[in-house]
Structure 1
């Protein structure tokens, strides 16, 4: 196993232990609102500390971008870990068992290692650049469907950017008229992992953050899928606007989205 993947998995599992313990005792979890409709729990913070502590033991000089604690550039600028300790906090605090840990490593600006860990289902999605993606040790492949009819798409509502509501609903309506069905799970990192494994055929969402996307980006690429912004370009880390699917279906999805987004 790639040594840095091994450490990333260890960090994700350590965070998973914190999350599961908290999930079993939700009445003792402290929750605060960071911004409108954006929540953080004491478990988010504790899980993030578990991840950072694990990474620092092996790589004390690496940079870290973490959702809750921000940016630590480190002394070795070639290595940067991107962490979401608990993607799906709203699900977590409401007792809905659908959330994950997301960890990615960029080396000289390129994502080389990715882990998405669902501690409730004990599902570990992982990837190393150029070595395929896996789910619990088995190689993953994205869906091969080429057209929208019959597909199952995942999405996320723009709850932090409600000024996009009308645009979002228009896109949703156009998709909904063609596809078999739609899902909104509450964890973008898991949605991307599910597209990578073929559980979902495609995914789209407004306004995500780098820690929502970074690990899923590599899982998708190593499973034969693509990730773009709404223009079909590579500006998704900056814009946060994401579309993911196999290349043929992605083209179909972008055609719909571009009718509503300039």
Structure 2
């Protein structure tokens, strides 16, 4: 979704972006304090179900509220889109927030979940005097509170893990790669085709992981733990931060269908280092073309 006409007045410098990053990082850690309290007191959780498989609790809601309170402290007019409360796209830029990515893991006491926060500038915005021709994630934070790992990136400034520069792996051969994926909760329409893709990739890679947090899957490619990733049926808040972090780590993160400038609307994402990405795309593309 593009807001070219309305976003031409947005101009952000390096200093402004750095200040916004500080706020976003602080917001992620504020949300994490709430998550960690409930994670260590799981009996206090009141669990609800959005559908048969997608769970949430008051931890999601309280984390979201804490994050939004921090992000809006300077009275910016950016839009806010969150997993739990929805929201509205802003005229110049929009925050995409997942206050708990990996809710099922969290509720079951599995210590693998994260907070994901991204700022997406809309087409026509100027970032360091460079005009964006399309909607673009310009800042991202993914915080893993169980490992105390914070992944961050600002457009044009590389990706960091706890303040240290990270890059994707150098894995060249698909047969030597470890890739990750997820199985969607709410979209079973193409299950047979998804299983076909899974079978092909399983035969051609070293191993596949299914860990339950899309944001961490992308962050782990950015720091070289994984080599590639694909998934269908995600939402914009699942992948916005991971997109900018992975791209700034010299990786590729795209909408498989190439319809959107980042995997924002249809949730069909393909990511990886530059070599593995191409091999995965060649395996997935024939099936995707049949779906579309």
Q: Partner residue of 1:253? A: 280
Is the aligned partner of 1:92 residue 2:106? yes
Q: Secondary structure at the match of 2:50?
A: strand
1:25 paired residue number: 41
1:118 corresponds to: 144
Listed one character per residue, the Cα deviations across residues 2-22 of structure 1 (whole Å, up to 9, x for unaligned) are 000000000000000000001
Aligned equivalent of 1:65: 81
Partner residue of 2:62? 46
**Aligned pairs (5 A) from 1:1-20:** 2-20=18-36
How far did residue 30 of structure 1 move?
A: 0.9
Change (3 A) 1:110 1:259: closer
Query: TM (normalized to structure 1)?
Result: 0.95
1:178 is displaced (CA, Å) by 1.4
Matched, 1:137 2:137: no
| 1:184 and 2:210 are equivalent in the alignment | yes
C-alpha distance after superposition, 1:21-54 (max 9, x if no partner): 0101000011111123111111000000000011
CA distance in 2, matches of 1:73, 1:60: 13
Question: How much does 1:162 deviate?
Answer: 1.9
- The CA deviation at 1:113 is 1.0
1:58 is paired with a residue of what secondary structure?
coil
Which is further off, 163-172 or 214-223? Answer: 163-172
Match of 2:121 among 95, 104, 107: 107
Judge which range, 214-223 or 52-61, deviates more: 52-61
- Output the aligned Cα RMSD: 1.5
- Runs of 4+ in structure 1 off by over 2 angstroms are 59-62, 107-110, 229-236
- 1:169 maps to which of 160, 181, 195: 195
Task: Quote the Cα distance in structure 2 between the aligned partners of 1:234 and 1:54.
Answer: 29
- 1:244 aligned to which of 247, 250, 271: 271
Q: Confirm or deny: 8 A CA contact 2:177 2:276 kept in the other structure.
A: no
Deviation, structure 1 residue 233 = 5.7
Equivalent-residue separation in structure 2 for 1:61 and 1:240 (angstroms): 26
Counterpart-to-counterpart distance in 2, 1:174 and 1:107: 37
CA distance in 2, matches of 1:161, 1:144: 33
Give the 3-state SS of the residue equivalent to 1:191 in structure 2.
helix
Q: Is contact 2:184-2:234 (8 Å) kept? A: no
Q: Distance in 1 between matches of 2:274 and 2:266?
A: 21
How many Å separate the matches in 2 of 1:43 and 1:231?
34
**Alpha-carbon spacing, 1:11–1:90, altered in 2? closer, same or farther (3 Å):** same
- CA shift, 1:246, in A, is 1.8
Q: Does the CA contact (< 8 Å) of 1:16 and 1:119 recur in 2? A: yes
Partner of 1:193: 219
How many Å separate the matches in 2 of 1:250 and 1:10?
33
Displacement of 1:165 in angstroms is 1.7
* Whole-angstrom distance in 1 between the partners of 2:226 and 2:145: 20
Q: Could you give the per-residue CA deviations for residues 170-224 of structure 1, whole angstroms, max 9, x where no partner exists?
A: 1111111111111000000000000111100000001110000100000011000
Tell me how far 1:72 sits from its aligned partner: 3.8
- The answer on 1:83 being equivalent to 2:109 is no
